[in-house]
Structures are given as C-alpha cells and as structure tokens.
Amino acid sequence: MAKVGVIGAGSWGCALSWLLCNNGHQVTMWSALEDEILMLRQTHEHKDKLPGVRLQDGIVFTAGLEEAVSGRDVLVLAVPSPFTRSTAARMAPFVGQGQRIVNVAKGIEESTLMTLSQIIEQEIPQAQVAVLSGPSHAEEVGKGIPTTIVVGTQEKDTAQYLQNLFMSSVFRVYTSSDVLGIELGAALKNVVALAAGMADGLGYGDNTKAALITRGIAEIARLGISMGGRIETFYGLTGIGDLIVTCASIHSRNRRAGILIGKGYTMEQAMAEVKMVVEGVYSARAGYALAQKYQVSMPIIEQVNKILFEGMSAADAVSELMLRDKKVENIDLRELYQNSVEIPW
C-alpha cells in the first residue's frame, strides 16, 4: 500500500482518487477551495465535476497542502494547466528529495512554451517528475470502464513503480520514456478537439471530423518530431488515441466549447457555458508559437488561433483550410527524425 496525495479535486483528481483507493492505496485529496473540501467530506461525491461517482470513505479530504504533500510516496498533480506553476511553487517547501510527482494535466505554458513537467521540475527541482496521459475521460474512469493509458518518465524504476501503482483490471498502464512527446500530444490534441467541435457546431459530418483527426495528428507529429519527440508516441495512445477520444466524445470539454463557438458563441461565452477549464484555449497560442519557432506548418492550429483570438468565424476558417495550396498527403518524416535520439531505457 502506498500513501498518495492527490493535489486537485476536479473531475480527474476525483476519478484517480477513486481508482487509487480501489487499488488499496491510502489517498489524501487536497483542494484550495474550503467549500469544495466541505462538500466532499459531507457527500463523498463531487456533484458539479464528477456526478454519480461516490468516493470511498477511506479517502481523506483536506485544505491543508502540507498535510496532502508531506510524507507521501507519490503526489498526483491534478490541477488545471493554468494553475500548475503556482500550485507547484506552493508545494515545493513540503516536497522531499526524490519524492515522486505525477502530473496528469495537459497543456503548454504560453509565456514560456514550457511543458507542464518542465514547469514542475523548475519549481520543485528535488522531485522525480512523471506524466500520466492517454484517452481517458474522468467520467468513465470513475465508473470502472476499461481504460488504457501511458506513464512517462526518464527513470525506468519510477515508470515501473507508477505502472504498478495505477494498474488494475480496468485501468491498463503502459510505460514510455518519451515525456516530451507524450506532453505535446496531450496538449495539442485539445486544440484540434476545439476545431472538431466547431465543425460539429457548424453542422458538418463524419467526413470533416475524420479529416481533422488525421490531419491534426500529422501536424502534432511534425512539431513533436522537430522538437525531439519520437514518432511512435504520436501514433500511440497519447497521440492518435487521445486525439480520437477528445474529438469525438460527449465528455470532452474542448469539443463542447468548440461546438458552441461553431454555433456563434465567442470564446469567452463558450468557456463560461462549459463551466470547466477548457485546456485547448490555453494551449492554442503556445502551440502556434512553437510552430513558428520550429518552422513547422500547422494550419489547423493556426486557424483555431484566428477564431479564438482574432475574431474569424469558424466557417471562414474552414474555407481557408480547404482552399490552401495543393499538397502531397505525407512528407518523409525521416527527414525530420533524428536517428541519434537516445531512448534512455
């Protein structure tokens, strides 16, 4: 049995707390919101973020960050990506040397273009940082629906430890050392999911959705390989797998926000209607900035930025995508891929 601190009491934090407690671990869940902790103590259910999932009586709920962090074998950082840096900075004084932190949020920091694990390593240099990602909606994980996911870290022993910690009969965990590739796929698929939702809001069909998914993963892979990620990551669970589920699922907040924008809502109105953090909005500018930095063509990401931040209509953006210069479908990714990329384990 491990002692686990779950930092963040949103839908994903609740679902993973349920899973870890079900696996026999001792779970303490933290939220910065006193009212949220009081509600969870009283009802053992987050009626706003994860209704219908009752959290076990053994889970401890606290608003004290030191209580949730100190002495834990593993910390699961489950706050929305815009709050990763500030939360990590608050955690840092209580984190011991070599303490394991698993980040489960998805995003890229706009001001620095850093991935979330890079932010955590910067704020908490004494920690061992890993990421957990893949096609996994909290609404389904919390109900025990079979799910497959990837844990990424540079340390093989840590990867295997975390694999054993999370793995269950309904939650299959693979391991990978390509942390950068995992995080880029996880963050940028949310931007493509916004585009997929916009297409739904415009009344387009399956043909359009399939086009956005396949061309979206091509864009993400081009950028990821240019930055040093591995091609197999983008065509695995945390690439195409996560992209499919986020573009197609009724649970996807990014798709829901995109549907509203396609129907004429502004970005601000759509985010207010969804009532949860829409990660793709925060990753869109960072994704486009990375495309420019690495001189990679990412037309879908570019058009999403124009819709979100420049007032372009979703219908006009589709027209721009369809009427671009003629292209071949695939470039030779071997031209981008560095044969010298080292796989540490």
| Structural domain spans, the chain | 3-177, 180-335
Measured from the Cβ of residue 146, the count of other Cβ atoms closer than 10 Å reads: 11
> Quick one: pLDDT band at residue 328, thresholds 50, 70, 90?
confident
For residue 233, give the H/E element and its range.
helix 231-234
Give the pTM: 0.92
Residues comprising the chain, all counted = 345
Q: What is the mean pLDDT of residues 87-114?
A: 97
If one counts every other C-beta atom within 10 angstroms of the C-beta of residue 342, the result is 6
pLDDT tens by residue, 136-176:
999 999 999 999 999 999 999 999 999 999 999 999 999 99
**Average pLDDT of the chain?**
93
Encode pLDDT of 126-140 as tens digits.
Answer: 999 999 999 999 999
Mean pLDDT of 180-208: 95
The amino acid present at 136, given as its one-letter code, is S
How many Cα neighbours within 13 Å face the side chain of 224?
30
Query: 102 falls in which pLDDT band (50, 70, 90)?
Result: very high
263 is annotated as an active-site residue: no
Confidence category of residue 279, pLDDT binned at 50, 70, 90: confident
Q: Determine which of 26-30, 59-63, 236-240, 278-282 has the lowest per-residue pLDDT on average.
A: 278-282
DSSP H/E element including 133: strand 128-133
**Which of 49, 106, 189, 209 does the annotation list as catalytic?**
189
CB 80 within 8 A of CB 277: yes
**Nearest CA among 328, 300, 196, 167 for reference residue 254:** 196
Determine the pLDDT at residue 340. 47
pLDDT bucket at 276, cuts 50 / 70 / 90: confident
Calculate mean pLDDT across residues 56-77.
97
Q: What is the pLDDT of residue 35?
A: 95
Tell me if the domain spanning 3-177 has CATH number 3.40.50.720. yes
* pLDDT given at position 342: 61
**Residue-wise pLDDT tens digits, 201-254:** 999 999 999 999 999 999 999 999 999 999 999 999 999 999 999 999 888 899
CATH number for the domain whose boundaries are 180-335: 1.10.1040.10
Task: Starting at the earlier edge strand, list the strands of the sheet with 128-133.
Answer: 60-62, 26-30, 3-7, 74-77, 100-103, 128-133, 147-152, 171-176
Assess contact for 246 and 70: CB atoms under 8 A: no
pLDDT band at 341 (very low <50, low <70, confident <90, very high): low
Cβ atoms of 100 and 73 closer than 8 Å: yes
pLDDT at 196: 94
